Chains A and B, each alone.
Chain A
């Protein structure tokens, strides 16, 4: 088990090295040049060659790559061309905003999807099942940005209940500053008993969370329902029912257990989709996370930032996949290396 974990970790490091090489070489091989970004419009030939020299772009790609790896090994991603600040610092500041959004969405998607899926399986082909089926089919077909716009139209434009965008009102932040413990505004404001900030953060979180959650909710709901239906048809469930197991025990214990392992795979995949979806959600809701950072960096041709943030997100993604694979061993004792 430990050996397996180590092997997987080594594999992961190799893949991350591959990702770094791939993105770096591409960024050097492709036409859009970081120099133009730095110098603005119509630079002179002298300026260009000087800038290329400063950035080390006149060296062979292999040498540049080597220097990039050396830099990465020291934990530096370079400096953002847009802001002139270290990329790693900027990403660090924004990571917690994305983590808060994605974590809350994932919890809600699982917390709602699992019971609704069980309910649909229990009442297969009745109205609950039809309703959740419609919800699921619509949920995967609606574009994230359109869903967000519909919610903004309804809850900000129409009803005026919720704010349009942002993470917290700056005026609330000034009057009730939040001490940072975890970086999650909800937790931090709650820990320090700052109800004004908590409420404000919560109403700002509502729409982005709903937007990000729906597609994942649909997937989790539908998979739970289908996996559960398969299990409910098996002999051992029928036997358990015959022996007098209650409906509640049947659905929530006996039948749920075998569905958890495949469901875990799906939840892991969902997490990846959320990391992708967070890009769109954050742009739409002006959420100060790394998803929006990706877009800002890409739009301004800020190469060190793009490479850095790509590396961070894929590392995060790979780690989650690894964690999910490790959880299999905990959930199902029959699985061994």
Chain B
């Protein structure tokens, strides 16, 4: 479903082409993002050198036809690292968002639907989580959980779930008073099946929007954790870790920091523009605006 402005066009490819023409920038970013996803999917089949292989005989080489993005202080191929890093970063970001939603949605649903002391209990707990400024809770949690990318993913997800719980809760509160929910209750449907079959599906969309908006932010947060040594550990090849390992040499050998850094920037940039563009074209309030 695109914008209704194009509804006079019969087939969906025609409508898609019309939408793309009007949103050239979004389409370009979508193409860029697709390329990154493609690189992530195909990384092991491209015949690239092992991104974790240490070889001091080729350390700190300039970008060349042999090593497109040069090599780092340990002689690892940076192009291969950037391509393989896409796998890790996208996977971790998906992991964060899904895990946060998987914890937040049931809590928000129970809170909003049950109300009373259950609601108070869960909301006070989420208050504690929201008392930490962003990034501080992931840092503290991953410190306590220990290093490693999986722990960092969990740490970020645990820090974010209260946002999802709150969003779901507030839409559950609205949906709960809808006529169809009241009717279901009036004919004696059991509360569990009302919650699962009527309330949940109808209160899910704000959380889906939030999750897709958070995708880029999840990449940034986990890369930041890796950068300060609280995320990925070698031999995992991760963009934030690549930038971190270039810290002692980047002033003379700019490519060691530039390419992994640019990879993070472009991925987040593309993801944000695409999500915003799609959301705008689905939002009835913004339709027809330039």
A residues contacting B by CB (< 8 A) are: 14-16, 18-19, 22-23, 26-27, 30-32, 125, 137-138, 140-146, 149-150, 152-153, 156-157, 164, 272-273, 275-277, 279-280, 283, 294-295, 298-299, 301, 306, 310, 313-314, 317-318
Are B272 and A156 within 8 A (Cβ)? no
User: Which size bracket describes the interface of B in this complex?
Assistant: 35 or more
Minimum distance in angstroms from B263 CB to a CB of chain A: 10
Which residues of A are found within 8 Å of B146, using beta-carbon distances?
Answer: 30-32
> In the complex, which of the residues B128, B220, B254 has the most CB atoms of chain A within 10 Å of its own CB atom?
B128
Which residues of A are found within 8 Å of B273, using beta-carbon distances?
Answer: 137
CB-contact partner of B257 in A144, A149, A275, under 8 A: A149
Which residues of B are found within 8 Å of A22, using beta-carbon distances?
Answer: 128
Minimum distance in angstroms from B95 CB to a CB of chain A: 19
Which residues of B are found within 8 Å of A310, using beta-carbon distances?
Answer: 132, 136, 140
List 18 other contacts, CB 8 Å, given A152-B250, A301-B143.
Answer: A32-B144, A138-B265, A145-B223, A146-B264, A149-B243, A149-B247, A152-B251, A153-B257, A272-B133, A273-B135, A275-B133, A275-B136, A276-B134, A294-B139, A295-B139, A298-B140, A314-B133, A318-B131
Determine if B269 is an interface residue (Cβ-Cβ < 8 Å): yes
Minimum distance in angstroms from B125 CB to a CB of chain A: 8
Q: A137-B269, A143-B265, A153-B251 are in contact. Are A279 and B131 (CB under 8 A)?
A: no
Are B272 and A137 within 8 A (Cβ)? yes
**CA A144 – CA B143 in complex, angstroms?**
20
A-B pairs with the 4 shortest C-beta distances? Answer: A276-B135, A146-B261, A298-B143, A141-B269
DSSP class of A's interface residues: helix, strand, loop or mixed?
helix
Within 8 A of A (CB), among B111-132: 124-125, 127-128, 131-132
CB-contact partner of A145 in B240, B251, B262, under 8 A: B240
Q: A146-B257, A314-B136 are in contact. Are A157 and B251 (CB under 8 A)?
A: yes
**CA A277 – CA B240 in complex, angstroms?**
15
Q: A143-B265, A146-B257, A279-B139 are in contact. Are A15 and B132 (CB under 8 A)?
A: no
Which residues of A are found within 8 Å of B269, using beta-carbon distances?
Answer: 137-138, 141
Determine if B41 is an interface residue (Cβ-Cβ < 8 Å): no
Determine if B227 is an interface residue (Cβ-Cβ < 8 Å): yes
Which residues of A are found within 8 Å of B124, using beta-carbon distances?
Answer: 14, 18
**CA A39 – CA B33 in complex, angstroms?**
49
B residues contacting A by CB (< 8 A) are: 124-125, 127-128, 131-136, 139-141, 143-146, 216, 220, 223-224, 227-230, 240, 243-244, 247, 250-252, 254, 257, 261-262, 264-265, 268-269, 272-273, 290
Minimum distance in angstroms from B155 CB to a CB of chain A: 11
Q: A26-B144, A143-B261, A152-B251 are in contact. Are A15 and B131 (CB under 8 A)?
A: yes
Which residues of A are found within 8 Å of B230, using beta-carbon distances?
Answer: 295, 298
**CA A85 – CA B35 in complex, angstroms?**
53
CB-contact partner of B216 in A141, A146, A301, A318, under 8 A: A141
Q: A125-B290, A153-B254 are in contact. Are A317 and B131 (CB under 8 A)?
A: yes
CB-contact partner of A141 in B133, B143, B268, B290, under 8 A: B268
Are B136 and A149 within 8 A (Cβ)? no
Minimum distance in angstroms from A73 CB to a CB of chain B: 19
**CA A272 – CA B143 in complex, angstroms?**
20
Minimum distance in angstroms from B241 CB to a CB of chain A: 11
Q: A145-B240, A279-B136 are in contact. Are A19 and B128 (CB under 8 A)?
A: yes
